[in-house]
Chain A
Amino acid sequence: MNADECMETIKLTSRGGDSFELPYAAARLAHVVRDANDENDDGDIDSPEDVEILKVNSPCLEKVVEFLKHYHEEALTEIKTPLEDNTFEGNVKQEWYQNFLKGIDQPMLFDLVTAANFMAIQPLLDLTCLKVSCQLMGKSAEEIRQILNIPKLTPEEEETARRDHRWIFDD
């Protein structure tokens, strides 16, 4: 059977043991799901089976499944680099995807980046990385540290960085 037309649903199970059901055709955007189902290069599979995603916690997996389901209905337009705009909304024009990351906190955003990478969901990885990138644009190092909750450099590192840095920006 061709996996793309597969109407069956499967469950993805989180580290916390919660299961989320979705059509296999939507789930297979995650390469980790394809591989677990031994989908070959021609996209043929037998009967799709459930997959445990032990590296991802429940709230995050729920969000991932929401993404997968929607992506199957409306794919994310490819994000072109270099970016054309200074804002996330200016680079991602589709309303659903804008809203998908609206209001989520920083730990959840990083969880999603890591989950997208682990599950090998390229569009979700692009989208979440872009969201983080947009937080960095035009910001000073101090602002970035606050946004990302980053500990300070050691004084020596700071000094080296400042020295390197000076040449780049004062024009």
Chain B
Amino acid sequence: MPPHPKKPKLNSPITTAFAATAAEAEVEVAADRIAEQPHSNADDGIIEDLLEDSTDNDPTINGMSNSLTARILGFLGYKDIMRSRICCRKFRDAARTTIVPWADGENYDSLVRETKFRVNNVRKYKAMVVMATALPNLQQIRLYYDFGNGHKYRDGKDPDEEKAASTADWTAYEIFLISKFSKLRSLEIIRSSLNGRYPVLFNYPLLQKLEIKYCSHLKWDLNALTGLPSLKELNVDTSDSLTGNIKSLRVLKDTLEKVYIRNCEIKGDFMELADFPRLKSLALYYCFLITGDVREIGENDFPVLESLMLGEGAISSTRHQFQRISDVPSAAGAIYRLNRRDPTFIRSLDNFCWSLSRDSPEWYANNGKAGHPHPPFQISFVRAGSRVGWRWKDLTLRLCRSTSTNTCEINWLDPEPDRESNDYDVYTRELQSIQEDVFCFEGYHQPPTEEEYKRLCQEYYDI
């Protein structure tokens, strides 16, 4: 051994790259290390002092620093932590800084440790009051169904007057204390009694997941999301008092991965999100005021999107009803092009169920004669071998995927396969099968006019 081995320099900031769930844990532990060595301009005397440190002689939990104890508790779920904290002051102090682990929805069910705190009755509400100071670094909270008759959260600003009046004599509980959970990463509010505006619900710097479902009186606007700068997942369903424009999501351009909004009266063009670099899933079901046109999606738009679901208001969405027959070829071409893109968010062309809108000037009713075909106002993609096309078909069966007996001619999106290719036999066989559906609309690549339709019916059926 060399005569003067090196001694650790206690004043050097030791980078401890702890894989904690939150950056705060690292800071906490680092700060604690420094705190353990108060005179950190080390000389050899300090080391002697440290040796006198009583913690060295107390190899129990009491010898542990606060942050180490918090770290031990940090492997547990909130119930175990709350149970442990009864044991001693050490655990109680540590619980105040313990970061409770959190799990996202996908692997949640397989976990044995509870990480999500559910507030669904008065008892749980009171537990939340305790935890707001005892365990403020809880990361997942779900408020759902809350209290039932006679109890409610205190009305927010600008509440629904009728609801407020009918519940005026109910016991009201303050929701404001939820703001003490400043490290929340997941907040779910489902069928809650919240009535009015609560800015406190939209102010969490670390929040990654927000779910608001069936809260008819919770008033909020999409622009409230500015208070949630880390949001990755937005999941909203039937939030009747939600307002705003999808454009407001642009403040979350670099974080959003999943947007699901169903049955809400929000406005705007879904193409506002086209340049979001992490957006994997976009669903705007039953949001009839959302506009936009799938044909406008360029090669570089939605770079990592894997799933796209739009309401009927967006042109070329899966269930779009077209106003003009002449819009369909470009829409089909666009969908086909996006289907071929890698990675693609249009994985199956079979899901498309387009039709001509009844409001279209080109629409007309069927001739009302039994056994006659309806006008071919429905559109579907077809395939023969590897060759893809689309065609108009009649509405007789009203089901998109069922075989129709009266279709127009196929509009091909691919060239005919080479006669020499391996695929050619399959192609001809399947082509023959789908061609059998073309009967009275033979020769038509798009729906006939009303006069033509009537004439064709007469020619083919009134014999």
By a beta-carbon cutoff of 8 Å, the part of chain A in contact with chain B is: 11, 13, 15, 19, 31-33, 35-37, 49-55, 78-79, 81-86, 106-108, 110-111, 113-114, 117-118, 120, 122, 125-126, 129-130, 132-134, 136-141, 144-145, 148-151, 153, 157-158, 161-162, 164-165, 167-171
Contact = CB atoms under 8 A, between A and B. Distances in A.
Contacts of A136: 72-73, 76, 80, 84
Contact of B88 (A79, A86, A150): A150
Interface stretch (B5-13, B184-192, B296-304): B5-13
A129 B14 contact: no
B112 A85 contact: yes
B260 to A, nearest CB: 24
A170 B123 CA distance: 10
Contacts of B72: 113, 129, 132-133, 136
A82 B77 contact: yes
B86 A141 contact: yes
A126 B101 CA distance: 14
A125 B25 CA distance: 13
A45 to B, nearest CB: 12
B70 to A, nearest CB: 10
Contacts of A32: 8, 14
A165 B112 CA distance: 21
A37 B89 contact: no
B437 to A, nearest CB: 53
A50 B6 contact: yes
B19 interface: yes
A164 B134 contact: yes
B164 interface: no
Interface in B1-36: 1-2, 5-9, 12, 14-19, 21, 29, 33
Contacts of B6: 36-37, 49-52
Contact of B14 (A85, A120, A161): A120
Nearest to B47: A54
B59 interface: yes
B306 to A, nearest CB: 24
Nearest to B67: A117
Which of B16, B59, B60, B92 neighbours the largest number of chain A CB atoms within 10 Å of its CB? B59
Given A36-B9, A168-B82, A145 B88 contact: yes
Given A132-B72, A138-B80, 5 more contacts: A36-B7, A52-B5, A83-B113, A150-B60, A150-B62
Interface in B248-279: none
A87 to B, nearest CB: 10
6 smallest beta-carbon distances between A and B, as pairs: A133-B75, A81-B101, A167-B127, A107-B59, A50-B5, A141-B86
Contacts of B75: 79, 81, 83, 129-130, 133-134
20 contacts: A35-B9, A36-B9, A50-B2, A50-B5, A51-B5, A51-B8, A78-B19, A81-B74, A81-B75, A107-B60, A120-B15, A129-B74, A130-B75, A132-B72, A151-B88, A161-B86, A164-B134, A168-B127, A169-B82, A171-B124
B16 A31 contact: yes
Contact of B124 (A49, A54, A148, A167): A167
A167 B121 CA distance: 11
Contacts of B323: none
Contacts, number: 182
Contact of A141 (B17, B18, B71, B83): B83
Contacts of B134: 164
Given A149-B60, A167-B130, A114 B84 contact: no
Interface of B: 1-2, 5-9, 12, 14-19, 21, 29, 33, 47, 50-51, 55-56, 59-65, 68, 71-77, 79-80, 82-90, 92, 101-103, 110-113, 115, 123-124, 126-127, 130-131, 134
Given A31-B14, A153-B88, A110 B59 contact: yes
Which of A82, A84, A148 neighbours the largest number of chain B CB atoms within 10 Å of its CB? A82
B60 A54 contact: no
Contacts of A157: 89
A82 B103 contact: yes
Contacts of A15: 51
A85 B79 CA distance: 15
Contacts of A111: 59
Which of B16, B33, B50 neighbours the largest number of chain A CB atoms within 10 Å of its CB? B16
A167 B124 CA distance: 6
B65 A35 contact: no
Nearest to A164: B130
Nearest to B75: A133
A126 B12 CA distance: 22
Given A31-B15, A55-B51, A120-B14, A36 B84 contact: no
Contacts of A36: 6-9
B327 to A, nearest CB: 50
A169 B84 CA distance: 12
Contacts of A168: 79, 82-83, 127, 130-131
B16 to A, nearest CB: 5
A21 to B, nearest CB: 10
Contacts of B88: 145, 150-151, 153
Given A49-B5, A82-B77, A148 B68 contact: no
A168 B68 CA distance: 25
A106 B90 CA distance: 17
A13 B5 CA distance: 9
B92 A161 contact: yes
A158 B9 CA distance: 42
Which of A15, A78, A125, A170 neighbours the largest number of chain B CB atoms within 10 Å of its CB? A125
A139 B14 CA distance: 35
Nearest to A123: B19
Given A133-B72, A137-B76, A168-B82, A145 B12 contact: no
